[in-house]
Every structure is written in C-alpha cells, then in structure tokens.
Amino acid sequence: MEYNEKQLAILNSAEKLFSVMGFDGSSVRDIAQDAGVNVAMISYYFGSKEKLMEAVFEHKTYKMRLKVENLVADKTKTCTEKVYILLSDYIDKFLDQPQFHKIMLREQLSSKPGGVCDMVLELKKRNLQSIKKLIQDGQKNGEFKKNIDVPLMMATMVGTVSQVVIGGRFFKEVNGLTHLSDEEFTNYVRKKLNVYLKNLFKSIIVNEQV
C-alpha cells in the first residue's frame, strides 16, 4: 500500500512511541500529538490502535520480505554470496531501524496470540522457508555442508546482532570505546558484526573441501 504524507507521519510516530513506551503504554492521543495530526485522522486512516500497529509492521517488513525472496531466486550470484548479502542486510536493518526491532523483540515476548505477534511469527516462518531453499540449493551444488540446522543458524544471526545492539553500553566499555559517539560506535559495530558473522557462517555452512 502507498501511504500519503500524513499517514507516513502517523506510522513514524507510532513506531517511535511503541518502541519506547510499548503498545499498551502508547495512546492514540500521544501518537496524534507526536505526528501533528487530529486524533480522528488516525481512526479514519487505520481504524484502531491495533490496526495501526499492524500497519507499522506491514510497512516495515514488506520490502524486507520481497528482497529475501528475490535474492534467493537470483541466478547471477553464488549461494555463499547470497548468504553474505543477507547477513549484511540484516545487520544494516537492525542498526538503521532500532526502534522497529525493539517492537519486534517486544512482540515476540508477548504471550497473547493474534495481531502483530502472529504477523511476526508468519514473517519468520516465511523467511525461514526462503533461507532453507537457499541452503538446499547450496548443498545441491556442493557449496554448503550437509546437515545444517537452519533455524538454529538463523537464531545465531538474530541473537548475535540483537545482543550486541541491546548491550551497546557493555560492549563499549569492555572494548574501550566509550569515547566514540553513537554514530561512530554504530559504524564500528556494523563492520565488526559483518566480519564476525561472515567468518562464523563460513565455518558453519561452507564446504571448503570443494
């Protein structure tokens, strides 16, 4: 769906407040005030706070979903190159959209089914199927090892990136980087995670005997 300027302002404000205050802690009035719109406009465009949360999620994940599927289908790259691109892309998305990923993490901790919680689950399942197809293609052509645990591999990627970002202060201190600005630290983490995860995934999945 294409959004107009007012709708995008509402989505951006909702994302910001949901990530900081949580879904229950953010009121429609707060979101309207932050977006500079009338409360009735949120109701008109999105219907309810629940539907607004779902719209934020759909808006942020559509391109991600499409990119994964198109990359897996790309015949011009090796399977190893595709895995490395996916790693870099995930790191970039987490670092460049920290507010949205806070919402993702918060929703996955929720015990109530339905809404965004189910949307997160479906996105993860769909992405997992695409990644499994990529790994199977690499196994067929001899690039990748056999018996790769794809769900655990993906959990390793997601867990590593999220822990480094969430524990930013800790990593700054233990690595002697407290003098860096937030932007400098983000760039440092981006490079560090790319090198670390590519080396790790190389040891986990790449068949170096070929």
CA distance 96 to 182: 12
The reported pTM is: 0.79
Pick the CATH number of 1-47 from 1.10.3720.10, 2.30.40.10, 1.10.238.10, 1.10.10.60: 1.10.10.60
Domain ranges for the chain, please list them. 1-47, 50-205
Per-residue pLDDT of the chain (210 residues; tens, 9 = 90+): 688 999 999 999 998 888 788 788 889 999 999 999 999 999 999 999 989 988 888 888 787 788 888 998 999 999 999 999 999 998 998 888 777 777 777 777 765 666 667 777 887 888 899 999 999 999 999 999 999 999 999 999 989 998 888 888 999 999 999 999 999 999 999 999 999 999 999 999 999 765
CA distance 10 to 56: 9
Judge whether 200 and 193 are in contact, CB under 8 Å.
Answer: no
Of 67, 169, 187, 200, the C-alpha closest to 123 is 67
Of 194, 86, 198, the C-alpha closest to 133 is 86
CATH 3.30.360.10 for the 50-205 domain, yes or no: no
Identify the three-state secondary structure at position 47.
coil
